[in-house]
A and B are shown apart, each in its own frame.
Chain A
């Protein structure tokens, strides 16, 4: 499966520029993201990048594949200012593992 192991999922206007990377770019709207990601995983995508706004929607899938090596589901910023959702996610992961909030802000 050449060229399709990296997929980028998001709203049309946000992920369109990623066509330049040669990755598989999939446009979704709210509510259809889960289905799409499941389909991509089934088709053998190893890395799926999705924009931060879908993180809530995908939380079930994220939890499901948390302990697997593949696929790699990573939120990327949507380019509309900083939302910190992704950073918060990592913070949560670490807090749960270590038992303390070590992901301190430097502000």
Chain B
């Protein structure tokens, strides 16, 4: 697909420069895409493992919890949970990977986990709550990783489109146009030359 550009020497120079820039840009973007791909692969396996582990642990924690709440008085569980004075605060920091803002979370915890009496609650409740409490830092990690993955995936998509647009549309178009202008220019040159020869002949025959 030829660009709609007048076939002049000026445009030829301009196009050659544009072609070089496009090729350099294409190489850069391609490198970026490769690097993103490498990173995303690293994340994929980490997330998979983490998620499966969290699922298992959560299930066992829930198991304890349901067991506990079925053993004690129905309101006792609610009361016990209301007495938890723990507060969690998430600190957020932005890290940069290839100019992408990646969240990084850290937690600040204050207060007590167990603020209820041991009399009306079963021991399983303590276990369940402790397990879930330990799980939260994993969940934070998972949140961080999954968000990173999403952002990376999004960036890969964008980069791939750009790479393809350069590789299959813009760069071929530029080179085709350069070729076209070159042909056109030499055609004009040949035309000029023959015209000159012809004029010279006419002038000579009149002498």
Residues of A that sit less than 8 Å from B by CB: 2-3, 5-6, 14, 16-23, 46-47, 49, 66-67, 69-70, 72, 74, 76-77, 79, 81-82, 86-87, 90, 93-94, 96-99, 102-103
Contact = CB atoms under 8 A, between A and B. Distances in A.
Contacts of B102: 69
B90 A47 contact: yes
Contacts of A66: 150, 154
Contact of B152 (A3, A70, A97): A97
The secondary-structure label for the interface of chain B is: helix
Contact of B40 (A3, A5, A49, A97): A97
B40 A98 contact: yes
The secondary-structure label for the interface of chain A is: mixed
A2 to B, nearest CB: 5
B41 A102 contact: yes
Given A21-B136, A23-B136, A79-B62, A5 B143 contact: no
Contacts of B103: 46, 69-70, 72
Interface string B18-40: 00000000000000000001001
Contact of B84 (A5, A20, A70): A20
Nearest to A2: B89
B58 A76 contact: yes
B65 A5 contact: no
A53 to B, nearest CB: 14
Contacts of B65: 16-17
Among A17, A49, A96, find the residue whose CB has the most chain B CB atoms closer than 10 A.
A17
Contacts, number: 131
Interface string B131-163: 011011001101110110111111011001000
Interface stretch (B1-9, B48-56, B182-190): B48-56
B113 interface: yes
Given A69-B94, A69-B101, A69-B102, A93 B153 contact: yes
A17 B61 contact: yes
A66 B155 CA distance: 11
B156 A98 contact: yes
Nearest to A52: B55
B54 A76 contact: yes
B54 A77 contact: yes
Contacts of A82: 55
B92 interface: yes
A5 B89 contact: yes
B61 to A, nearest CB: 7
